Amino acid sequence: MTPLLLGAALAAPVGDIWVRAPDAVTRAELDALGLVHAHGREGEWGQYVGHAGPLDAAEQGFETRDRREDHRDRRRNQDVSLDDLEARLRALDGDLVQVGTSLEGRPIWGIRLGTTDAPRLRVLGGHHGDEPISVELALHVAEQLAADAGVFAGLTQQREIWVVPLVNPDGYVLGDRQNANDVDLNRNYGDGWRDTVFSGPAPFSEPETRAIRTLSVLAPPHAGLSMHSGAFNLGYPWNQTVSPSDDEADLIRFGTPYAEAIDDDTFSFLNGADWYITYGDTNDWSLGAQGAWDYTLEVSLSKAPSDSQAVFDAHVGAVAAFLASPVALQGRVVDATTGLPLAASVTLDAGTTRVTSPVDGRFSRAVASLEGGLTVTSPGYDDLRVEALDTELLVELTPSARGVAGMQIVSTTQVALTLDGDLLVRPGYDDIALDGPVDPADLAAGPWSLVGETTSPAGVFVSDPGLACRLWEVDVGEALVVSGEGFAEGTRAWLLLEDRAWRELVVTSETPTEVVLDGSSLPLDGTADLVLVSNGVEVAIADLLGEPVIDTSILPEPQDTGITDSSPSPAPDDPGYEGCASVPRRTLGWALLCAVLLRRRRP
């Protein structure tokens, strides 16, 4: 390759900085030309782009796009329709959950298979709508796990496994890589996100990626596979930089059995950035935010191969080996006084920090050895150092100085948020310094701890009224009745009392407009708040025993998806009303009903 070819590429209009290189090019030659890092690997024909140094995109006025030529091809040759996908998931013996709703109102289905109190793993398919075989393989894995068949026999007695076969249903219907907003969902996650053409306007700007984030906060995996197609390899993070992560040695060790189980010499196992650099993808966010070992699995050179069974046969043994990989360290973080689970950060002496779920407090890690120790932190609790590791750990944290026990609800539509404290803290998220007003839109929806002279666990709840699930009112009694719109299958709810630990409430019934909870455990006085997760959204009601507070923000104007629907929008009391699924996205007429009407009845 000559500098002339490179110069010709750089003379192109603003856009992709791609260089086609013959198979004789070496990494040293690319470095000498100023390509400090490049897409592709030494000795291969590929497309290369500089990301730093003399050819830095910002300095040159170029906009880098980590895209191959086939990233804009549309494909409609799906063998599994959306109706088929849902029907096949419903036929399985597992917990079916609508983990979210796409931009155009299509459900995103997930299923939990296996047992609780076991290492948790995650399988995602269909981030890109033009990669239907990734959806089919994820669905096939779910069916084999549920059947307890073949190489998957016994796995559900040893693991908890979440499978979301199709993250991007809108793109899948169109046969398009992006979602209905023309956003590449695998560039829209938080860690390493950059503002590029297809990344979306901000991290987690899309309802599909927010749905995966909500699922991951409540059920953080210790490892996972994010399935794609169009290549044939397994990649581990980082994808945003060639600098190794703290967990690189363990990531290689943990992923090697997958590569060894593939009976094909053309399959490669590599660092993601050594293939090509991406920003804001699932793997990097999972590792950076949660300490989860998430891998990109490219299942076939064809995005939509004609023989799906051949792809299944090539991968099922490797997927089973991955899911069954030994986990040397398991633990649970609880409140030392109540024994209830806590959301916490668990940092081993070597490696990244893992987070636990407020639902069960569990964590696990496939460490190579049990040498060293770990440190556990949780807002509102004293830090705890564990010097000696064991295969099973119960970590009991002691409450520290506490502030106000109640919950303050703020909305992302507020202009600025001023709080009396030093930090907003939440395990799995960057701390937010309170050295001035904070833009609530910069905070992920859900509970945050307010830290200052004292700490108020779950003291601030950020509500995003632009999401699919919203609350209108609550009736407090032996049956706790929550009314709203956009509730979906798999709704769960938790009660927060003075200690702020999450106590799960039984959902006795649910419809798109009403969730009924068993309120028998509700105290007669004191502080009690409610957190409800439905349709990939965390929502809350503060002060159930006083004057219940729900976010009353008026809905922002939805983005125009290009879908036209001239039919009138039904009101909640109209016959045939089905919640948000029945409401055209472009219509706001009835949305003012979300100005909450509260009523409280106590027998």
Q: Domain segments of the chain: what residues? A: 3-64, 82-323, 329-395, 401-603
Residue type, 559: Q
Q: Which helix (H) or strand (E) holds 432?
A: strand 432-433
Identify the residue with better confidence: 527 or 511.
511
Average pLDDT over residues 184-210: 92
pLDDT at residue number 332: 97
Q: Using the predicted structure, report yes or no on whether residue 23 has a pLDDT greater than 70.
A: no
pLDDT at residue number 403: 82
Determine the 3-state secondary structure of 26 from DSSP.
Answer: coil
Average pLDDT over residues 6-24: 35
**What pLDDT band is residue 308 in, cutting at 50, 70 and 90?**
very high
Considering the segment(s) 329-395 as one domain, its CATH architecture is Sandwich (2.60)
In this structure, which CATH number among 1.10.10.10, 3.40.630.10, 3.60.70.12, 3.40.50.1110 belongs to the domain 82-323? 3.40.630.10
Q: Using the predicted structure, report yes or no on whether residue 455 has a pLDDT greater than 70.
A: yes
Identify the residue with better confidence: 76 or 162.
162
As a whole number of angstroms, the distance between CA 9 and CA 85 comes to 44
Which class is domain 401-603?
A: mainly beta
How far apart, in Å, are the Cα atoms of 433 and each of 376, 419, 458? 21, 10, 16
- Say if CB 413 and CB 465 are below 8 A apart: yes
E-only strand ranges, 169-267 = 223-228, 231-236
Average pLDDT over residues 195-206: 90
Q: Using the predicted structure, report yes or no on whether residue 192 has a pLDDT greater than 50.
A: yes
- Which class for 86: exposed (0-12), middle (13-18), buried (19 or more C-beta within 10 A)? middle
Average pLDDT over residues 575-588: 31
pLDDT at residue number 582: 27
- Say if CB 131 and CB 124 are below 8 A apart: no
Q: Two tokens at 589?
A: 């007429």
Q: Using the predicted structure, report yes or no on whether residue 22 has a pLDDT greater than 60.
A: no
Q: In 3-state terms, the chain is what percent helix, strand and coil (to 5)?
A: 20, 25, 50
Q: Two tokens at 411?
A: 């909305």
Determine which of 32-36, 48-52, 163-167 has the lowest per-residue pLDDT on average.
48-52
pLDDT-above-70 percentage for the chain? 79
Prior bond to 238 cis, omega within 30? yes
Chain segment 120-178, per-residue pLDDT in tens: 999 999 999 999 999 999 999 999 999 998 999 999 999 999 999 999 999 999 999 99
Of 14, 166, 171, the C-alpha closest to 83 is 166
As a whole number of angstroms, the distance between CA 532 and CA 511 comes to 14
Let me know if the fold of 329-395 is the same as that of 401-603: yes
Q: Round the average pLDDT of the chain to a whole number and report it.
A: 82
- Which class for 350: exposed (0-12), middle (13-18), buried (19 or more C-beta within 10 A)? middle
